[in-house]
Structure 1
Amino acid sequence: MDLELVSSIYDEEIVPIWSLPFARILMGELSSPLYGSTLELCAGTGYLANHLVSYLGPKGRIIALEPHQGLLEVARERAAEAIRQKKVFFQHHNLRHLRFADSVIDLVFSNLGLYHVLSVEDLLVEVIRVLKPGCRAFFTLPLEGSFQELLSLATRFFQQYQELDIVEYIHYLSLPLRTPAQAESLLHSVGFGDVQLQLRPFPLVFQSSDELLNSPFIRYHFLDVWEPRLRHFTTQQVKSELKDMLELMYGHKPIELTVQAACLIGTKDLL
């Protein structure tokens, strides 16, 4: 999903169905008050940083980094009062190299950042560099098996009509969806200790096939991504075929897509 393209509708259409359930998982793991310097990676439109201002202890602050300028503008407008009070600082940042000295950050968190960034390992190396020894990092992410109800259906359809490029691409897009063991190994591999994974699956519920297939989240996350690789069908034809398959399976019942959500937690070892 190209977050720059969806910045104008992100808060209204994407956050409630996608980002907010993960944010609730993350907030359930954080302890308050938050002291010192807290770093957020991939801050989006700032709803989480702005909410966590209420978690801050005396002299606590949140530094929120976001690589997409369109989302950052919304974040700064939302958190104007917290910015004025110097409790939260938003920065445009590509996340390739964190502009902080070693061992200066008290806590790092990222809601879906590991799912959206291209070079996860490089980012995690930077995270463990800037964290103080003994301090923790929290990352929410979807795991393998997410959206399986829709992806299995789409794969079957594309295989039937020899749209093999799409079948291969669906598999390729699933590669960032790690197993629990792979997610834990990711943190271990860059030097985190006391790695924990809290599994918190949740459903995306759609009242009908029309609601699902016309959802901006489904459009930007799947349909628009498949479109350039279609050879025999238009996107509208794909939607029509999937609608028929969904209605055959679910009738008039709500359709649930399972998201295998998790919060990955790691601690930087003491020196």
Structure 2
Amino acid sequence: MANRYLHNVQGLFDTIAPNYDRMNNIISLGTHRHWRRQTMAQIQLAPTAQALDLCCGTGDWTIAIANDLQPTGEVIGLDFSAPMLKIAQQKVNQANVADRVWLRRGNAMHLPFHDNSFDLVTIGFGLRNLPDKPQALAEIYRVLKPGAQLVCLETSQPDQRLIKPVWQWYFTKVVPFFGRLFAHQYQEYSYLQETTRHFVSYRQLVGLFEQAGFQAVHYQRFNFGAAAAHFGTKPSLEDAHD
């Protein structure tokens, strides 16, 4: 069941890849770039770090991480959509960071990396599309080095009484309409708004992080709660032995 679901979602992202960046700008009114900059500002990353950007899509966050690295550092961008990765590679080349970026096709729930490999793992707007979120978080925990951090930037759900109805109207009515108007892909963007509406709350996501073993879990909310960045740290070896 999970494999079939993942195959269907992969097909969806293959389809929307050519319009993905433009539609992100339209749907978020450009604010997704601000969310990522604000999130990046809170990440302490050594210039020689080994980083992994999961569900990297067209590579914006991968490139942002690469810009903070020296050539001796590396960021791997992993995604299951070949068309997304093709666009990402073009953007990596244009950004002149190909010497520290490796793009790879793969499944975020079954990572093809050794235990304790990365100083940082990021996942932006991808966790909600994975059928088994605890499995994905367990895999991220496995490949992180002790003391290293997971950073998840994701759409979220406002809980303010006056804001929530507006947010629900926007995602249920306006987002699919934009998909039809600007990309001729009503069904695809109808699905994406459903994943946004039905994703766990920011508080529930804290619980999923903690269940996976992450410590010092905290979050920052954006745009009255329309998005949230969650941070969690894999315990250091000293903490693990306490």
TM range (shorter): 0.7 to 0.9
Task: Tell me the equivalent position of 1:129.
Answer: 142
Distance 1:150 1:52, change over 3 A: closer
Distance 1:175 1:39, change over 3 A: same
Task: Tell me the equivalent position of 2:179.
Answer: none
Residue identity in the other structure for 2:78: L
Identify which of 203, 209, 231 aligns with 1:181.
203
Residue identity in the other structure for 1:149: V
Q: How does 1:1-271 map to 2 (within 5 A)?
A: 2-15=12-25, 17-18=27-28, 19-57=32-70, 59-80=72-93, 81-83=96-98, 85=99, 87-145=100-158, 148-149=165-166, 151-152=168-169, 173=195, 176-201=198-223, 260-271=226-237
In the TM superposition, what is the alpha-carbon distance from 1:150 to its structure 2 partner? 5.3
- 2-structure distance, mates of 1:3, 1:109: 19
Distance 1:109 1:34, change over 3 A: farther
Q: Give TM-score scaled by structure 1 length.
A: 0.65
Contact 1:141 1:263 in 2 (8 A): yes
- 2-structure distance, mates of 1:73, 1:154: 28
Task: Tell me the equivalent position of 2:184.
Answer: none
- 1-structure distance, mates of 2:206, 2:112: 26
Larger Rg: 1
Q: What runs of 5+ residues in structure 1 fail to find an aligned partner?
A: 157-168, 203-258
**1:167-202 deviation digits (Å, cap 9, x = unpaired):** xx9997566432232111010011111111112226
Distance 1:154 1:188, change over 3 A: closer
Distance 1:134 1:14, change over 3 A: same
**1:48-92 deviation digits (Å, cap 9, x = unpaired):** 212322201462110110111111100011112422x2x000001
Distance 1:155 1:263, change over 3 A: closer
**Count of residues paired in the alignment:** 201
Q: Give TM-score scaled by structure 2 length.
A: 0.73
- 2-structure distance, mates of 1:105, 1:153: 38
**1:196-242 deviation digits (Å, cap 9, x = unpaired):** 1112226xxxxxxxxxxxxxxxxxxxxxxxxxxxxxxxxxxxxxxxx
In the TM superposition, what is the alpha-carbon distance from 1:153 to its structure 2 partner? 8.2
Distance 1:73 1:170, change over 3 A: closer
Q: Please give the secondary structure, in 2, of the residue aligned with 1:102.
A: coil
What root-mean-square deviation, in Å, do the aligned CA atoms of Structure 1 and Structure 2 show?
2.9
- The answer to which structure, 1 or 2, has the higher relative contact order (CA under 8 A, 6+ apart) is 1
- 1-structure distance, mates of 2:119, 2:77: 14
Give the fraction of aligned pairs with identical amino acids, expressed as a percent.
26
**1:92-147 deviation digits (Å, cap 9, x = unpaired):** 11222111111111111111121222221111000000101111110011222387
